[in-house]
Chain A
Amino acid sequence: DTAVSQTPKYLVTQMGNDKSIKCEQNLGHDTMYWYKQDSKKFLKIMFSYNNKELIINETVPNRFSPKSPDKAHLNLHINSLELGDSAVYFCASSQRDRGEAFFGQGTRLTVV
């Protein structure tokens, strides 16, 4: 059973398009995250949701909008995609008072 799953695994799209990445966790965790890993492998937090409430929103362009319909899901919608958005996006989840985060398999987004 996959603990944290995200879809799609690969996404190739043209500049200016809008795309979404979905994430689901079956661990019963109360907190979910989106991380961006750039070409230099740096893992940078973008958003964090706790019990469907946004608690961390790092300096991310407004074109990125997370949505958490329930505690088990955190989706990421990106408008007007730019070349610089190309990266691997990881979803993760944790139980807030424990800390250990489990990552999804990643979505490799390529904007052409």
Chain B
Amino acid sequence: GENVEQHPSTLSVQEGDSAVIKCTYSDSASNYFPWYKQELGKRPQLIIDIRSNVGEKKDQRIAVTLNKTAKHFSLHITETQPEDSAVYFCAASMYALNFGKGTSLLVTP
């Protein structure tokens, strides 16, 4: 089955800095790559996604890049704010989401 690796497991940045989280996947058949944000005690919520026919997608301060050849994709958050602090999950999917182990992001004022 699909195996998704995610790094780093924890990330601490100062407010205003950028944060980058990287993921790799194993199944070349995966064609959908979402990113979810989970705040403490809450459900995972989709923040951005990318499909295999696109290399990059941006939505305000967040962007995702995909390299299909290398089977890796990344989340970039610019101008981080304290409310960006949460656990971020990448996932790769053909039929069901297979998640990475999560990155705990802490943005300090």
> In the assembly, what is the distance between CA of A99 and CA of B96, in Å?
8
* Given A41-B87, A43-B89, A103:B45 Cβ within 8 A: yes
Provide the residues of chain B in CB contact with A100, threshold 8 Å: 34, 46, 49
The DSSP consensus for interface residues of chain A is: strand
By the criterion CB–CB under 8 Å, are B34 and A104 in contact? no
The chain A residue sitting closest to B44, CB to CB, is A103
Q: What's the interface size class on A, roughly?
A: 20 to 34
Tally of A-B residue pairs with Cβ under 8 A? 54
Contact with A along B46-76 (1 / 0, CB 8 A): 1001010000000000000000000000000
> In the assembly, what is the distance between CA of A100 and CA of B1, in Å?
20
By the criterion CB–CB under 8 Å, are B95 and A42 in contact? no
Checking B45, B49, B93, B95 against A55 with a beta-carbon cut-off of 8 angstroms, the contacting residue is B95
Provide the residues of chain B in CB contact with A45, threshold 8 Å: 96-99
By the criterion CB–CB under 8 Å, are A105 and B49 in contact? no
> In the assembly, what is the distance between CA of A31 and CA of B32, in Å?
16
Provide the residues of chain A in CB contact with B46, threshold 8 Å: 100-102
By the criterion CB–CB under 8 Å, are B99 and A43 in contact? yes
Min distance, Cβ A64 to any Cβ of chain B, angstroms: 16
By the criterion CB–CB under 8 Å, are A56 and B43 in contact? no
> In the assembly, what is the distance between CA of A31 and CA of B94, in Å?
13
Provide the residues of chain A in CB contact with B45, threshold 8 Å: 103
Interface residue ranges, B against A (CB under 8 Å): 1, 32, 34, 38, 42-46, 49, 51, 87, 89, 93, 95-99, 101-102, 104
Q: Apart from A40-B101, A43-B102, A55-B96, what are 17 other A-B pairs with CB-CB below 8 Å?
A: A33-B96, A41-B101, A41-B104, A42-B101, A42-B102, A43-B89, A56-B96, A58-B1, A92-B97, A96-B95, A99-B32, A99-B49, A99-B51, A99-B93, A101-B34, A102-B46, A103-B43
Interface residue ranges, A against B (CB under 8 Å): 31, 33, 40-45, 48, 50, 55-56, 58, 90, 92, 96, 99-106
